[in-house]
Amino acid sequence: MTTTKQIAKHLRDVHFGGNWTVSNLKGQLTGVTIEQALMQVHGFNTIATLTYHINYYIHEVIKVLEGHPLTASDKYAFTHPPFGTQDEWDDFLNKCWDEAEIFASLIEKLPDSVLSEDFTDGKYGTWYRNLAGIIEHSHYHLGQIALIKKLVQQESLA
């Protein structure tokens, strides 16, 4: 298996399952209501905010893989659109799953030789650093989502 195919597999694993942590975004977010997604507990980011934040970077790097310049900015990475209904939240989650698959498919098409090249600009490091970093970033926030989900469920029962 090529390294780019392995990276794509890891991306899919954190989104859809099969990783060592036995936790994944789709599994954690399935059944989360809009009320739960937007519930603020202990001043933490909401589930909706963290989910948007994870997908923000995937969405932006898809554009780079499609030949567009990098336009992402950290100042927008936590500002999700308003989710007013369960359908809007569910549609957003479906967009996340679709974009994760698109992203993984695009990664698979990269030759391994690109992994040691600069990602858009040398200040960002290599392609490998950025692709692996997105997966690490997703795992980090997945852990937060899992904990916040438990707190939200406790609040909902109280």
Instruction: Tell me which H or E stretch contains 152.
Output: helix 127-157
Domains held by the chain: number:
1
Both tokens of 97, joined, read 């799953």
Q: Which letter does DSSP use for residue 126 in this model?
A: B
Q: Residue 10: which of 116, 114, 134 has the closest Cα?
A: 134
Which pair of tokens denotes residue 110? 């990269």
pLDDT in tens, 19-40: 888 899 999 999 999 999 999 9
Q: What mean pLDDT do residues 5-18 have?
A: 97
pLDDT at 158: 62
Residue-number span of the structural domain to which 139 is assigned:
3-23+30-157
Q: Is 148 exposed, middle or buried (0-12, 13-18, 19+ CB in 10 A)?
A: buried
Alpha helices per DSSP H over 17-126 = 25-29, 34-38, 47-65, 86-108
Which residues, at least 6 apart from 125, have a Cβ–Cβ distance to it below 8 Å?
Answer: 118, 119
pTM as predicted? 0.95
pLDDT tens by residue, 111-124: 999 999 999 999 99
pLDDT tens digits for range 55-111: 999 999 999 999 999 999 999 999 999 999 999 999 999 999 999 999 999 999 999
CATH number assigned to the domain comprising residue 58: 1.20.120
Q: In Å, what is the CA distance from 145 to each residue of 49, 105, 119, 129? A: 10, 25, 28, 24
